[in-house]
């Protein structure tokens, strides 16, 4: 009989694509999801995109009874259940700690009683804070959090102690975490807790640090989701995308189907256990360029990005993935380049309705002094 896999948070964006990937490869899939109204735009019902063959159990990751029932007969678990978003995590602190930290603890206590063959936890590039940099003399340097004085002066780039500029380079898993938000802190807790308990109870465990995942099914009306979805929501409502700082900050955008395939590889590669892997595209794009590409593809080139010159607490300047470890340890290689992925995304976007809640979220951050 094929293996039974549980995906916590599996009715969401990445989890549903993972379910498709697993079903295509002969696995049976169960999902535990609370169908959060923020993620599902106020419609807490089974999403139409979730494959019919998925066994959906509606329940919360913090409920031991629901988690125990979901684990019945399960061979492996993907732990995706999480609240996401840097900005929101800085004021809904208790909610993020409960969903991410307590939810993970509940799952791990259940697994201690009924160990499984493999546990894969979704971590995040946010745990790095700033990425890795190179000095003018060629030395590698870990980026440090920028001071508020620097940000207030509009000095966005990182410099060394002498004032010389630092050049961003791909960030490897060996880079020391620098936790600049409650979201980042909670993701690092999820990652470390799973690896610690996995080792203690002989549960082979893998942590995957996702970079900026994009693609169809992303929640367009959630103003704390990925930047591409936020830009898309603005554009679909004939509003200009808003970019913070000067828009030249660089990120790594990886297609959701590449991420789903990486997750399956983490399940199947026996030598991946106990390790942490970056999952990205290995390429960097500026936020300003991404906004322009999306505006063009959606037929709204006149809606150029509004460069705000403002900054948000918890934001970092540059971070993109070094994939060397994922290539050697998982056999992972991204297959969908950005142009192909954006073309597919815009085809899906044209069929969607989106409520643009960016201004509301931005006012919330501003009134709390978190966006200046």
Which of 307, 166, 318 is CA-nearest to residue 246?
307
* Ramachandran bin of 176, using left for φ above 0, alpha for ψ from -120 to 50, beta for the remaining angles: beta
Tens digits of residue pLDDT in 272-297: 999 999 999 999 999 999 999 999 99
Backbone angles phi, psi at 369, to 5 degrees: 75, 20
Confidence grade of residue 372 (pLDDT, cut at 50, 70, 90): confident
Tens digits of residue pLDDT in 32-52: 999 998 888 777 789 999 999
Q: Which of 96, 128, 133, 183 is catalytic?
A: 183
For the range 108-112, what are the long-range contacts, defined as Cβ-Cβ under 8 Å and sequence gap of 24 or more? 108/193, 108/194, 108/197, 109/64, 110/64, 110/67, 110/68, 110/71, 111/71, 111/77, 111/197, 111/201, 111/203, 112/197, 112/201
Backbone angles phi, psi at 290, to 5 degrees: -65, -45
Give yes or no for residue 212 having a pLDDT over 90. yes
Q: What average pLDDT score do residues 96-122 get?
A: 97
Q: Where are the domains of the chain?
A: 4-367
Which of 279, 261, 285 is CA-nearest to residue 211?
279
Domain 4-367 has CATH 3.40.50.720: yes
Q: What average pLDDT score do residues 287-314 get?
A: 95
| 183 tagged catalytic | yes
Give yes or no for residue 227 having a pLDDT over 80. yes
């Amino acid at each position: 009989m094929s293996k039974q896999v549980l995906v916590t948070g599996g009715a969401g964006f990445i989890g549903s694509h993972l379910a498709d990937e697993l079903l295509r490869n002969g696995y049976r899939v169960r999902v535990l999801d609370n169908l959060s109204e923020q993620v599902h735009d106020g419609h807490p019902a089974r999403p139409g995109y979730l494959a019919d063959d998925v066994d959906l159990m509606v329940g919360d990751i913090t409920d031991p009874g629901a988690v125990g029932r979901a684990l019945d007969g399960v061979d492996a678990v993907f732990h995706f259940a999480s609240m996401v978003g840097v900005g929101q995590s800085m004021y809904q602190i208790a909610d993020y700690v409960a969903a991410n930290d307590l939810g993970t603890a509940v799952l791990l206590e259940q697994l201690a009683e009924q160990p499984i063959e493999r546990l894969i936890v979704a971590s995040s590039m946010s745990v790095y804070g700033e990425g890795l940099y190179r000095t003018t003399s060629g030395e590698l340097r870990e980026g440090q959090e920028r001071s508020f004085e620097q940000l207030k002066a509009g000095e966005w780039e990182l410099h060394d102690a002498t004032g010389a500029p630092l050049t961003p380079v791909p960030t490897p898993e060996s880079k020391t975490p620098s936790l600049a938000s409650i979201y980042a802190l909670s993701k690092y807790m999820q990652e470390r807790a799973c690896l610690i308990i996995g080792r203690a109870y002989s549960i082979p465990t893998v942590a995957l640090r996702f970079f900026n995942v994009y693609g169809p099914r992303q929640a367009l009306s959630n103003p704390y989701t990925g930047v591409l979805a936020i830009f898309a929501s603005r554009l679909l409502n004939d509003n200009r995308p808003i970019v913070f700082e000067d828009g030249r900050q660089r990120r790594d955008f990886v297609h959701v189907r590449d991420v789903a395939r990486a997750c399956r590889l983490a399940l199947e590669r026996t030598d991946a256990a106990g390790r942490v892997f970056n999952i990205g595209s290995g390429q960097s794009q500026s936020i300003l360029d991404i906004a322009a590409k999306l505006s063009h593809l959606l037929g709204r080139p006149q809606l150029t990005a509004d460069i705000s010159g403002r900054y948000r607490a918890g934001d970092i300047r540059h971070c993109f993935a070094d994939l060397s470890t994922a290539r050697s340890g998982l056999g992972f290689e991204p297959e969908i380049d950005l142009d192909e992925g954006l073309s597919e995304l815009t085809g899906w976007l044209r069929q969607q309705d989106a409520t643009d809640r960016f201004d509301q979220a931005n006012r919330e951050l501003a009134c709390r002094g978190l966006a200046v």
